[in-house]
Chain A
Amino acid sequence: MNVVALRGVSFAYNGSRIVDDLTFGVEAGAFVGLVGPNGAGKTTILRLLQGLLRPSAGTVELEGRDLSTFHRNEIALRIAGVWQRPPLAFGFTARELVLLGRTPHLGVMKWETPKDLEIVDDVMRQTETLHLAGRTAMQMSAGELQRVFIASALAQRSRILLLDEPTSFLDLRQAARLSKIIGELMQCGMTIVCASHDLALIRRHASKVVVIRAGRMHYEGAPDDALDRVRLAEAFGMQQEDWYHDEGNDK
């Protein structure tokens, strides 16, 4: 059964169509990879899936229900996301940023309980960010900040995780660490939708890959088929002889 799905979804901004009549579903416990050129609409699709954008046409469904009928807090209890973000204002520390992930679980006055702090420590340990706890965003590298946001999303303890280029700022060790965390989350039944140019990550975890080109579905299928060199070259509008990716290493 699909936990999230797009049904004939289009999204236009300033008169231009970013997403055009897109339909696909994500089964519970699946890892779906979104692959496509820069500007193809991958981030917009993730934002539509989390209800941060409203479709111009079509519907986004969560657990079989129109996403627009959910309250924001209800969505936050079910879906977490890791996004590429602009710099942050004021001096929030890494621990305070991770604690923001607990928001949907906090009471009326939004004070954290010892359990919330325990979860924050757990996810910071898991993402190797505990030593950054007292640092502000200005005092962290892009990769460290990325891991803090991953920790914040994990602190949300939702069943669906949306990842937008999660390895883009990570070094080799931290990318491998994230891949391991993804594996552990999937063993716990987490559903993941990941937009990435990191084909190795997609090949390793994806049960399905959706290839997007100019906001439209280019191909949907098993990773080995979808990430075929000919198909990808076509989706990215490149010549096969320009291909430099080493498929052997990807695997």
Chain B
Amino acid sequence: MRRFWISIAIAGGLLLAASVLSLATGAAHVRAGDAFRAVIDSSSVDPTTATIVRSIRAPRVVTAIVVGWALALAGLCFQSLLRNPLASEYTLGVSSGAALGAVATVLIGVAGAFSIPAGAFFGAIATIAVVLFVAHASFSFETTSTILAGIIFTSLANAMLSLMLTLIAPDELQSFFFWFLGSFASAEWGMVGPVSIVVALLSLVLMGHAWHMNAISVNEELAEQVGISVTRSKLVLYGVASLLTAVVVTLAGTIGFVGLVVPHVARLAVGVDNRKLIPLAALSGAALCVMSDLVARTALAPNELPVGVVTAFIGVPVFVSLMRRRGR
């Protein structure tokens, strides 16, 4: 447990440092100490600084935390369920499916406050159902085949997204790139507040199923033998992972590599017990997304990079190094 608490402290420390730095960094210069004070007590700094930090930068930082947290947990969940280190909401096509659902909702013109999240969730659930069905029907449900089915579906969903994007007006095109490349630019308290509560509740459900994930990732029949209702647990876990993905897509579009890479890094630190992996992966995913957003905002300032580009630039070399390590 000592290793676990040290890892949690490091991930938590990184998240805190990245968040303060992110609150302090931007077009208007704010000192890190002032940024921290503005969050704790807005009256202790001047009103302009308080507004910049609390109303503009803080929602963006919290969005990055929620997105990174949710992506890492969704990836961890899919990897455990499918017993495959390549599984993640991105490689299984769930992110693309959710984006497709969200864009379709906008194009069809469904009204209502929750229409886009509902469309994204429907897209995510439909994707995982189709991917599992195709893998089961065509390839006897081997976990590698599920990844293959996911890659095929991702291509199809991206093609359909491209098709839909050709149907919208050119002046709206820029905002729709959001669904493809991911961005925290449209972050606002009105959206991230309720979503944070949903993600917190889903994290608790996941934590309550951490042991089930352990048993299922060892062997489903063994899980049944030791008293776990595997079908029910898998339904819950696929639902939670799909919902987490839908939430992320609604907030920030499709962002790759966080869900794939973060669980592996966390496993290197604390082993494979999901009871320890869930909190560590969540904190690490959050820290990675806040850092990626900071790089996205500052690397080519005043221009802003899509955050999905940054996570890919960080994620690919990390994943290659993990593969080399496994190979040895």
Contact = CB atoms under 8 A, between A and B. Distances in A.
Given A52-B221, A92-B218, 15 more contacts: A72-B228, A72-B229, A73-B227, A76-B225, A76-B226, A76-B227, A86-B219, A89-B84, A90-B83, A90-B267, A103-B211, A103-B227, A104-B226, A108-B208, A156-B226
Chain B, interface SS category: helix
Interface of A: 50, 52, 71-77, 80-81, 83, 85-86, 88-93, 96-97, 100-101, 103-104, 106, 108-111, 152, 156
B37 interface: no
* B: interface residue count bin: 20 to 34
A91 B211 contact: no
A101 B228 CA distance: 11
B208 A109 contact: yes
B214 A92 contact: yes
Nearest to B232: A72
A101 B80 CA distance: 19
Interface in B247-295: 267, 271-273, 275
A96 B214 contact: yes
Contact of A92 (B225, B226, B272): B272
Chain A, interface SS category: loop
B208 A100 contact: no
Interface of B: 80, 83-85, 143, 207-208, 210-212, 214-215, 217-219, 221-222, 224-229, 267, 271-273, 275
Contacts of A85: 219, 221-222
Contacts of A93: 271
Contacts of A152: 222
Contacts of A80: 225
Of B226, B227, B275, most buried by chain A (CB within 10 Å of CB) is B226
Given A52-B221, A93-B271, A103 B226 contact: yes
Given A90-B272, A110-B211, A72 B217 contact: no
B224 A72 contact: yes
Contacts of A75: 227
22 contacts: A50-B225, A52-B221, A72-B224, A72-B228, A74-B227, A81-B225, A83-B225, A86-B219, A88-B218, A89-B83, A89-B218, A90-B83, A90-B218, A93-B271, A96-B271, A96-B272, A100-B214, A101-B226, A103-B227, A110-B210, A152-B222, A156-B226
Contact of B217 (A74, A90, A111): A90
Contact of B227 (A89, A97, A104, A109): A104
A90 B224 CA distance: 19
Contacts of B227: 72-77, 103-104
A151 B207 CA distance: 27
Nearest to B225: A81
Contacts of B221: 52, 83, 85
A199 to B, nearest CB: 27
